[in-house]
Amino acid sequence: MNNPLIAAIQTPFQTAPFDQIKLEHFMPAIEYGINEQNEELEQIIANRQPPAFTNTIEALSFSGSRLSFVSSVFFNLNSAETNDEMDTLAQKISPVLTEHNNNILLNQKLFERVKEVWNARNQLELDADQNTLLEKTYLSFVRNGANLRQEEKEKLRDIDARLAKLSLDFGQNALKETNDYELHITRETDLDGLPEAQKEAARETAKEKGKEGWIFTLQYPSFLPFMTYVKNRDLRKKMFVASGRRAYKDNERNNEGIIKELTQLRLKRAQLLGYNSHADFVLERRMAESPEKVNSFLNYLLEKAKPAGEKDVAQVAEFARKTDGLTNLQRWDFNYYSEKLKKEKYEVDDETTKPYFQLENVIDGVFKTAQKLFGITFHERHDIPKYHRDVITYEVKDENDNHLAVFYADFFPRAGKRAGAWMTVYKDQKKENDVDERPHVSNVCNFTKPTASTPSLLTFNEVTTLFHEFGHALHGMLTKGRYPGITGASVLWDFVELPSQLMENWCYEKECLDLFAVHYKTGEKIPADLIAKIKAAGKFNEGYQTVRQVSLGMLDMKWHHVADADALKNTTVAEVEKSAFSPTDLLPAVEGTSMSCQFHHLFQGGYSAGYYSYKWAEVLDADAFEAFAENGIFDTETAQKFKKHILEAGGSEHPAELYKKFRGRDADPDALLRRAGLL
């Protein structure tokens, strides 16, 4: 009981005791949690009362709360604050948890009780929450092999254990490849075009590594400004190729073999369960329902967007020819000349807008936006333990000053953090024994760190990223369900991006920007004409960006809508990418680079056969924001309807029904194309 993950937690709101946790605490706590849940499951099975919703389905949903908490803490840290020792431990913990999960879902006695309740569902008087939980519970057993013969169940166990390890290997390889690369510059002339703030950040990185000059990495806040502003074309190419070759080199971190094995095992698993492909298996539990609908959706978007995308690229190519005599525009040129063209067309670029987007002000702005929309407030707490000094902790309160959630904000890159931005949950919301246990939610991003002379200033794209991830956080914090697993962002995967993508819309509105966008030196509010330029520039290269997202969705389907195992076995990563990208390529392919080998979403992040979800949810968010635009972006009635039917409802009902309750109708599929200027 000296283990802080096992002993009674004495922290505010029973938050994770990060200041006490050591690496050696995790495995004993995982084992303790497994044993504890096994005892809870035995009580369900041994219950002499006939199987009922309360004593079986509800009891099962509340079981394993300690294990869920410990696992969340471990794997969230493994993404945000890891090291070699933690990576090694993850390789041990992951198969243990996979086996435990399989032991539950392949437990015949437990399944019989679940099945009995399922078969009697039409005679039971269940509300929406209960019906959803019953269906999700029953299908989780069936979709994980409960109806298979014993020998098939054993095959499934082996596949799941191997999949868990491969997924972990994939992520660790990509992270280590990212962390290992550095471009060391010793001549300042090589950095012509790069803003001073980025130079200063690179100089500080070099100092931290004990070197003179400037060091650039493949972390987003270092890589993107380099590709956008550095005039030296050879160096841009060098950085681009280095990024594209991550986990695609001839070394022990090459992810090609892992991808091939992962996709073959996913197919084998799906077919063992009676599905044609992994995509058929996944999409059965999505709004899109089938691979055919997904492909039809992606092709519709491509048909509308590709002419605009070709026009976007032609404009950038012509601009590069006119300004620098460049006749062969390449991928490492696109950001550089796009930014210059955008500045010429709209008199706006990142360097113009960044002084108005100091990180602390943007955080305050997103909090004020949430308060105006949903009545919630954020109060920094210094007594909640944190896992890194950069993390900021908040208590979230509702309009009546009641405790609503704990919010962790972690915004800066470091060696132990994977790239990108995400929302995660340390503790789910649930109501057990009439006690509403509120959630612990986290946003993790990778923004430019402040330097000795300059605070953290965000690009406009980073501002929208912060609002995006905060939308996910709102989904997690405002939820009012009863059962873990169907609260917060635990919704069908192609619905989960609606709250996040919807929040991005406020970044383009003067009424919202006036809440926080002030010049970090002068305190001057962002000028109205600059806001108008930001809004106009928001459609710049929209065709190109839409085609890019569609191309990634198509790559996903090329890997996962496959019914022939030999086809996967006998192909290469390069061949799959060529096939997927040929209808969408707007710029020449770059030999020796790979998207798949670093595509976390598909091979570690849970988006396999689901990457289309971003564009699918954009249709929903474009249609939803039209309601706000019609009534006023801070209209109380519209905000309360969205809060009630989307954010608070979580996964309590099918998302199509929840959306109709909010909007009064289905989403208009052309809303996205209208917003993007593609109709």
- Which tens digit of pLDDT belongs to each residue from 560-569? 999 999 999 9
Residues carrying CATH 1.10.1370.40, the chain: 355-538
Region 264-277 average pLDDT? 97
pLDDT digits (tens, 9 = 90+) for 68-116: 999 999 999 999 999 999 999 999 999 999 999 999 999 999 999 999 9
**What percent of the chain is predicted at pLDDT more than 70?**
100
**What percent of the chain is predicted at pLDDT more than 90?**
94
pLDDT at position 676, please? 87
CB 159 within 8 A of CB 199: no
pLDDT digits (tens, 9 = 90+) for 160-204: 999 999 999 999 999 999 999 999 999 999 999 999 989 999 999
Region 661-665 average pLDDT? 96
pLDDT at position 279, please? 98
**Who contacts 570 (Cβ-Cβ below 8 Å, separation ≥6)?**
none
CB 405 within 8 A of CB 397: no
Q: Name the band, by pLDDT with cuts 50, 70 and 90, for residue 1.
A: low
pLDDT at position 403, please? 98
In the residue annotation, 469 being an active-site residue is answered as yes
Q: Catalytic: which of 469, 497, 504, 618?
A: 469
CATH architecture assignment, domain 355-538:
Orthogonal Bundle (1.10)
Mean pLDDT of the chain: 95
CATH T-level fold of 12-105+107-143: Glutathione S-transferase Yfyf (Class Pi); Chain A, domain 2 (1.20.1050)
Give the number of other Cβ atoms within 10 Å of residue 455's Cβ: 16
Region 241-254 average pLDDT? 97
DSSP code of 54?
A: I
Please provide the size of the chain in residues.
679
pLDDT at position 83, please? 93
pLDDT digits (tens, 9 = 90+) for 479-530: 999 999 999 999 998 899 999 999 999 999 999 999 999 999 999 999 999 9
pLDDT digits (tens, 9 = 90+) for 594-632: 999 999 999 998 899 999 999 999 999 999 999 999 999
Q: Name the band, by pLDDT with cuts 50, 70 and 90, for residue 452.
A: confident
Q: Which phi and psi angles does 64 have, rounded to 5°?
A: 75, 25
**Secondary-structure breakdown of the chain: helix, strand, coil percentages, each rounded to the nearest 5:** 60, 5, 35
Q: Pairing state of beta strands 440-444 and 403-410?
A: parallel
Distance CA 406, CA 650 (A): 18
DSSP 159-214: HHHHHHHHHHHHHHHHHHHHHH--EEE--GGGGTT--HHHHHHHHHHHHHTT-SSE
Distance CA 399, CA 408 (A): 20
pLDDT digits (tens, 9 = 90+) for 14-23: 999 999 999 9
Contacts 24+ apart (CB under 8 A), 190-193: 190/230, 190/232, 190/235, 191/230, 191/232, 192/230, 192/231, 192/232, 193/229, 193/230, 193/231
Residues carrying CATH 1.20.1050.40, the chain: 12-105+107-143
CB 602 within 8 A of CB 596: yes
pLDDT at position 374, please? 98
CB 390 within 8 A of CB 410: yes
pTM, entire model: 0.87
Q: Count Cα neighbours of 111 within 13 Å in the Cβ-side half-sphere.
A: 17
Residue 463: pLDDT above 90? Answer: yes
Residue 539: pLDDT above 80? Answer: yes
